[in-house]
Amino acid sequence: MIVLEMKAVIKPYQANAIDDAIRTVQFIRNKALRLWMDASREDKIDKYALNKYCRILAKEYKFADELNSTARQASSERAWSAISRFYDNCKKGIKGKKGYPKFQKNNRSVEYKQSGWKLSEDKKKITFTDKKGIGTVKLKRTRDLNFYPIDQIKRVRLVRRADGYYVQFCIRVDIRDYAKPLEPTKHCTGIDVGLKVFFADSDGKTIEIPQYYRKAEKRLNRLNRRKSKKFIRGKKQSNNYQKARKRYALKHLRVSRQRKGFVEREALRVIQSNDLVAYEDLNVKGMVKNQRLAKSINDAAWATFRQWLEYFGFKYGKVTIAVPPHNTSQNCSNCGEKVQKTLSTRTHICSHCGYIEDRDINAAINILKKGLSTLGHSGSKAWGDLPSSLVGEILPGYGESVNQESPVTASA
């Protein structure tokens, strides 16, 4: 499934109607969560019970009845998604917090299924037919939407951001059918992400980190101080506060888009240049708990980079492999012996064979070797089909298909 996003051109009354729908979604989700929390052990609260509860809420509250029934169901599904994720974490025995569901305070979207909306014939407008009064919304840049039939659109979302409102179309389609085939490069690479450079590959190339957040941090702090000075506790906030809040949010949005655009371009370039890409299976969520490194790790966007690698690899039929990161920086890529290094040591000097290389490049070579050695084994985290051009040249006997669905496309 893919998601196409278009900017919505709306009028002030439509913005108020969309905000009302978003608040209703948050209300239904929180009420469904409260039902689960208050239920006794004898009560069976599952996904279907929460869907039925939406009908009760529609009868009790007029504003809930105004929202389309499928949008109410999607709201309850959001609550059940949080509940089921908590159950799964408990069953897996994850250490620490299990992700107990929390009440939502700042919802920003409303989702419709296959009813409650209607596209115009030219697909440049969309009309929402529920009782919230959103009406017809104009769409910008709808060219890509014309490639897909309407019956493949499974969900439509209205999303509020700092710079306006957007309409997202969730389309069930195999992205490989619409991708232009890439010529085999007969090349494979290993990638080591870092904080000194964005990543280093096994060929000795490095990409610098743009550090969009670090560069914008001074400006962000200034805007945040201006916003805080206009905040009055316990009273309705003034228009000046709302303006300052919007300027602060717009700057954050710009930084996030810059970061996303950078990692998307780099991931696409890596996939286009290689038939096989190996990278570390990092626990980024656990690593950001380190307060000294959290800001730099988030600014580097390692997790987003991996998602785009897997997405483009799945789309263009390239192999992407996540390998365990254990000792990839410590082991010598030339002789395999372990050479202890601290984080401040940036050059790998092997005392056993005398091999000298940059720390990150040495790690990238080790990552590639691990990827090649695990490809085709059961349990290896690999996506895509191994191109025939690589079979017999770098991996004798490892021509098995390791097709899996990309987690990016599955969750989109």
For residue 399, the model assigns a pLDDT of: 31
Phi, psi of 253 (to 5 degrees): -65, -40
- The residue to which tokens 């980190």 are assigned: 209
User: Please, what sign has the CA dihedral across residues 375, 379, 380, 381?
Assistant: positive
Q: Compute the distance between CA of residue 86 and CA of residue 80 in angstroms, rounded to an integer.
A: 10
- The distance in angstroms from the start CA to the end CA of the chain is 6
Q: How far apart are CA 287 and CA 307, in angstroms?
A: 17
Q: Give the model's pLDDT for residue 407.
A: 39
Task: Please state, in angstroms and rounded to a whole number, the distance separating the CA atoms of residues 64 and 117.
Answer: 17
The rounded radius of gyration (Å) of the Cα atoms in the chain is 25
- Within 8 A by CB and 6+ apart from 141, the residues are 6, 7
CB 290 within 8 A of CB 332: no
Confidence at residue 84, expressed as pLDDT on a 0 to 100 scale: 94
Element housing 349 (H / E): strand 347-349
Q: Which residue has the tokens 């988030």?
A: 298
* DSSP tag of 385: B
pLDDT at 346: 85
182: enclosing H helix or E strand: none
User: The whole model's pTM is what?
Assistant: 0.83
**Model pLDDT for residues 262-283, shown as the tens digit of each residue:** 999 999 999 999 999 999 998 8
For residue 279, the one-letter residue type is Y
State residue 409's pLDDT score.
39
Report whether 300 contacts 209 (CB < 8 A).
yes
Task: Report pLDDT for 381.
Answer: 61
Alpha carbon distance 385, 398 (integer Å): 11
Q: How many residues does the chain have?
A: 412
pLDDT of 327 = 87
**Tokens in use for 109?**
């979207």
- 88-111 pLDDT per residue, tens: 999 988 877 888 999 999 999 999
Q: Looking at residue 148, what is its pLDDT?
A: 86
Task: Identify the pLDDT of residue 343.
Answer: 82
pLDDT for the residue numbered 285: 85
Q: Which two tokens stand for residue 97?
A: 């917090």
> What per-residue confidence (pLDDT) applies to 378?
42
The string of DSSP letters for 191-229 reads: EEE-SSSSEEETTS-EE----HHHHHHHHHHHHHHHHHH
Which residues does 83 contact at the CB level (< 8 Å), separation at least 6? 33, 36, 101
In sequence order, what are the beta bridge partners of 160? 165
CA distances from 410 to 43, 142, 151, 330, 405 (A): 32, 23, 19, 35, 7
Looking at residue 376, its pLDDT comes to 57
How do the pLDDT tens digits run along the chain, 412 residues long?
889 999 999 999 999 999 999 999 999 999 999 999 998 877 888 899 999 999 999 999 999 999 999 999 999 999 999 999 999 999 988 877 888 999 999 999 999 998 999 999 889 999 999 999 999 999 998 888 888 888 899 999 999 999 999 999 999 988 888 788 888 888 999 999 999 899 999 998 999 999 999 999 999 999 999 999 999 888 888 999 999 999 999 999 999 999 999 999 999 999 999 999 999 998 888 888 888 889 999 999 999 999 999 999 999 989 999 999 888 888 898 888 888 888 888 888 888 888 888 889 999 999 999 888 877 554 456 555 544 444 433 333 323 333 343 334 343 3
3-class DSSP string for 84-143 = HHHHHHHHHCCCCCCCCCCCCCCCCEEEECCCCEEECCCCCEEEECCCCCCEEEEECCCH
Domains recognised in the chain with CATH numbers: 2-173 (no CATH), 188-210+251-411 (3.30.420)
Task: Read off the pLDDT of residues 213-223 as tens digits, 9 standing for 90 and up.
Answer: 999 999 999 99
The reported pLDDT for the residue numbered 408 is 42
DSSP secondary-structure letter at 38?
H
Amino acid at 43: D
Contacts of 72 (CB under 8 A, 6+ apart): 28, 54, 57, 58, 64
pLDDT at 7: 94
3-state secondary structure of 168: strand
**Cα–Cα distances in angstroms (integers) from residue 129 to residues 21, 68, 70, 122, in the given order:** 13, 8, 12, 18
- The amino acid at 197: V
| Cα–Cα distance, 290 to 303 (Å, whole number) | 16
